[in-house]
Structure 1
Amino acid sequence: MKLLVTGANGQLGRCLLDRLADSDDRVVALGRDGLDITDRSGVNARVMAVRPNIIVNAAAYTSVDRAETDRETAWAVNAEGVEHLARAANRAGAALVHVSTDYVFDGTLRRPYLESDMANPVGVYGASKLAGEQAARLADRHLVVRTAWLFSEYGHNFLRTIIRLAHERDTLSIVDDQVGTPTYAGDLAEALVALCRGRPESGVYHFSGGEPCSWFGFAQAIFAACSQVSDTFPSPRLVPIASSDFPAPVQRPAYSVLDGGKLRREAGVPPGNWRRALVPLCRKILPTG
């Protein structure tokens, strides 16, 4: 199997490369410097030169707040770039695996979202990702995988930010009325590799980390894991707050838990386990003591 991975320098891209390192698959991994997916002619040329069996698109514009004032860039990466990949995939006879987000939903349900539930994004970021899903479906063979609250040892994410802030502040106020499912990017990478090998029917699938929680609950779990790893971890006081106490340019979904039943039934891929990932990750990030 020959894979072309876009966004290879991001946290998901790097986790994908870790999982593929010991496989027999041929992998062409390209960061933005190697392939800017907003450049249609560049995408066409590179895909036709590589001739992959599968394109895995891990490239994305992920700044939820900045997207409100940088709509053009968010749309170019999350929507137009995906269309370029889908059309190039058809020319090369490749399948397209595209990663989307729980933020395509408005968060008004109080049960886990199914793939069939109506999408209704509340901001530019979610709208651009939904447009990207629609663009991905232009590929004759496509898999759209929605995920949520990604974290890892790489890049910028809640886990790394909260650990940094723990060393800078005595008290941290964390939103407790937004509920979702943290997802270790390594678990998602394993799921994507399994999908590439299994090649289920084209469509939309949900994959996330298993147990739902709030951002406050996630922070508590992170600090508990850090305390297991390091005797000197500072463990500042955590204070639960409402979203209204932490004004942001765009509203986040209050409840964006994803139901992963379809992926398990049709492809045999179980959900991840974000709690199990925390201690090993904290060992990588923190000095032990």
Structure 2
Amino acid sequence: MSKVLVIGAGGQLGQCLKVVAERRGITEIVFPAEQDANILNEICLNDLLAIEQPAYVINCAAYTAVDKAEDEVDLAKAVNETGVAFLASACLNNQATLIHISTDFVFEGNKVKLLKETDEAKPINIYGLTKLDGEAAVVGKLPAHFIIRTSWLYSEYANNFVKTMLKLGAERDELNIIADQVGTPTYAIDMANAIFDIIASSSDAYGVYHYSNEGVTSWFDFAKAIFDISETEVRVNPISGSAYPTKATRPAFSVMDKSKIKNTFNIQIPYWRDSLVECIKQIKMQ
């Protein structure tokens, strides 16, 4: 496989890429430390790519604190747009293809329909807006790109909904979970495999793609599944999003159509609950 460089290697998806690379026997891959791959330092990025000469760069670096972004607008914009523009330029200068990770939060999510890559993006929070601006920066600067939008990412690594629920379920008898926000959880290990499948294909079918696990669920049903699979005794009550106001508004329905990525790269996508079973098994083994 062609040489790969991962930006944001310390985050959840970066850690999953490392695990999957080992499982697949991928050795031509570099996971630089954050100080050596600072997405806000254009000179640093150019130097790094000039030294490593990767064929592919995977960008996992992002500002993802959705509610905090409403207050930290400049920081979210710097990481999710300006830094991405720097990275796209560095890729152009060094003839590298960029695989950039984006989000379902670029959509308004006010219609119950599967979201296609061609549907109008209309973010309803700062995080989504900065991620959409990052996509535009990639498209504007670098023809050789794959933008992959994903949703509800979780794994046995870093902080995420699954690990939070397991922690709270062990501490409390009862939890209130939002039932009127619907989407699809994505196991970051599955996502990492899909990214390596795209690289292995050597395809130049550049553009925007959607990837999540298969199926549809609410946060309430996701939480119920976590407790069911992990055999955690806790009462879960469904509540509306309006009963739990957050600083940032979330899309009510953000289930993405994955037919483009499946057809283009012949990728088999696991059902969300099957992947959740695997993740909880891995967490229990840790």
Kindly provide the CA deviation profile for residues 238-286 of structure 1, in whole angstroms up to 9, marking residues without a partner as x. 0000000001001100000000001111121233332112223222323
* Selected match of 2:176 from 140, 152, 173: 173
Q: Does 1:188 align with 2:186?
A: no
Give SS of 2:193's match. Answer: helix
Give the deviation of 1:152 after TM superposition. 0.2
Instruction: Identify if the C-alpha distance between structure 1 residues 204 and 70 changes in structure 2 by more than 3 Å, giving closer, same or farther.
Output: same
Partner of 1:250: 248
Give SS of 2:123's match. Answer: coil
The answer to whether the 8 Å contact 1:144/1:205 transfers is yes
Partner of 2:147: 144
Q: Provide the C-alpha distance between the structure 2 equivalents of 1:251 and 1:110, rounded to a whole number of angstroms.
A: 17
Give the deviation of 1:25 after TM superposition. 4.0
Q: Does 1:153 align with 2:156?
A: yes
Identity, in percent, stands at 40
The farther-off stretch of 60-69 and 29-38 is 29-38
Partner of 2:283: 285
Give the aligned residue type for 2:226: I
The answer to whether the 8 Å contact 2:175/2:236 transfers is yes
Partner of 2:273: 275
Kindly provide the CA deviation profile for residues 81-130 of structure 1, in whole angstroms up to 9, marking residues without a partner as x. 11111111111111000000000000012111000000000011000000
Kindly provide the CA deviation profile for residues 137-181 of structure 1, in whole angstroms up to 9, marking residues without a partner as x. 221200000000000000010000000001111110000000000
The answer to whether the 8 Å contact 2:151/2:185 transfers is yes
The answer to whether the 8 Å contact 2:165/2:223 transfers is yes
Give SS of 2:133's match. Answer: helix
Partner of 1:238: 236
Give the aligned residue type for 1:64: V
Q: Provide the C-alpha distance between the structure 1 equivalents of 2:285 and 2:19, rounded to a whole number of angstroms.
A: 22
Q: Provide the C-alpha distance between the structure 1 equivalents of 2:154 and 2:194, rounded to a whole number of angstroms.
A: 15
Instruction: Identify if the C-alpha distance between structure 1 residues 273 and 33 changes in structure 2 by more than 3 Å, giving closer, same or farther.
Output: farther
Instruction: Identify if the C-alpha distance between structure 1 residues 252 and 207 changes in structure 2 by more than 3 Å, giving closer, same or farther.
Output: same
Q: Provide the C-alpha distance between the structure 2 equivalents of 1:180 and 1:277, rounded to a whole number of angstroms.
A: 15
Q: Provide the C-alpha distance between the structure 1 equivalents of 2:161 and 2:187, rounded to a whole number of angstroms.
A: 11
The answer to whether the 8 Å contact 1:183/1:273 transfers is no
The alignment of Structure 1 onto Structure 2 pairs a total of residues equal to 282
Partner of 2:107: 105
Give SS of 2:30's match. Answer: strand
The answer to whether the 8 Å contact 2:187/2:279 transfers is no
Give SS of 1:33's match. Answer: helix
The farther-off stretch of 22-31 and 211-220 is 22-31
The answer to whether the 8 Å contact 1:82/1:135 transfers is yes
Q: Does 1:18 align with 2:19?
A: yes
Partner of 1:230: none
The answer to whether the 8 Å contact 2:149/2:210 transfers is yes
Within 5 Å, give how 1:19-168 maps onto structure 2.
Answer: 19-21=20-22, 22-137=24-139, 138-168=141-171
The answer to whether the 8 Å contact 1:56/1:96 transfers is yes
Structure 2: 5+ residue stretches without partners: none
Q: Does 1:218 align with 2:222?
A: yes
Give SS of 1:84's match. Answer: helix
The answer to whether the 8 Å contact 2:36/2:44 transfers is no
Q: Provide the C-alpha distance between the structure 2 equivalents of 1:54 and 1:30, rounded to a whole number of angstroms.
A: 14
Question: Deviating runs (4+, > 4 A) in structure 1?
Answer: none
Give the aligned residue type for 1:215: W
The answer to whether the 8 Å contact 1:60/1:78 transfers is yes
Q: Provide the C-alpha distance between the structure 1 equivalents of 2:4 and 2:285, rounded to a whole number of angstroms.
A: 35
Give the aligned residue type for 2:130: S
Give the deviation of 1:287 after TM superposition. 6.8
The answer to whether the 8 Å contact 1:170/1:236 transfers is yes
Structure 1: 5+ residue stretches without partners: 228-232
Instruction: Identify if the C-alpha distance between structure 1 residues 52 and 12 changes in structure 2 by more than 3 Å, giving closer, same or farther.
Output: same
Q: Could you tell me the TM-score, scaled by structure 1's length?
A: 0.94
